[in-house]
Amino acid sequence: MESRGTLFFLHGWAAGPDVWAAQANCFSRWYKVIRFNYHKGIEDGLVCGDMSQYAMAALETINREPASRAFLVGWSMGALVAMELALLVPHKITGLVLIGATGRFTRAPGYCEGQPAALVKRMKKRLAQDPDRTLEDFCSRMFTREELAKGAGERFRQVILCPASRWTEKELAAGLDFLLRRDLRGHLGKINLPCLIIHGEGDEICPIGTGYYLHRNIAGSDFEFLPECGHAPFWSKAEIFNEKVGRWLDDLHR
- Give the domain ranges of the chain: 6-253
pLDDT of residue 168: 85
The percentage of residues in the chain with a pLDDT greater than 70, rounded to a whole number, is 93
Q: Summarize the confidence of residues 111-127 as an average pLDDT.
A: 94
Mean pLDDT of the chain, nearest integer: 91
Instruction: Render pLDDT for 136-149 as a digit per residue (tens, 0 to 9).
Output: 899 999 999 999 99
pLDDT range class, residue 169, cuts 50, 70, 90: confident
pLDDT of residue 20: 96
The residue among 77, 7, 87, 6 whose CA lies nearest residue 42 is 77
pLDDT of residue 45: 40
Answer whether residue 81 shows pLDDT above 60.
Answer: yes
Contact assessment for residue 57 and residue 38, using Cβ atoms and an 8 Å cutoff: yes
Nearest 5°: the CA angle 173, 176, 180 is: 140
* CATH of region 6-253, choose from 3.10.20.30, 3.40.50.1820, 1.10.3720.10, 3.40.50.300: 3.40.50.1820
pLDDT range class, residue 164, cuts 50, 70, 90: low
* Cα 52 to chain centroid, rounded: 15
Helix, strand, coil fractions of the chain, as percent rounded to 5: 50, 15, 35
Helix (H) or strand (E) holding 6: strand 6-10
pLDDT of residue 39: 64
Provide CB contacts within 8 A for 225, sequence distance 6+.
Answer: 198, 199, 200, 201, 208, 211
Instruction: Render pLDDT for 201-244 as a digit per residue (tens, 0 to 9).
Output: 999 999 999 999 999 999 999 999 999 999 999 999 999 999 99
Instruction: Render pLDDT for 32-71 as a digit per residue (tens, 0 to 9).
Output: 999 998 765 444 443 334 568 889 889 988 998 877 799 9
pLDDT of residue 101: 98
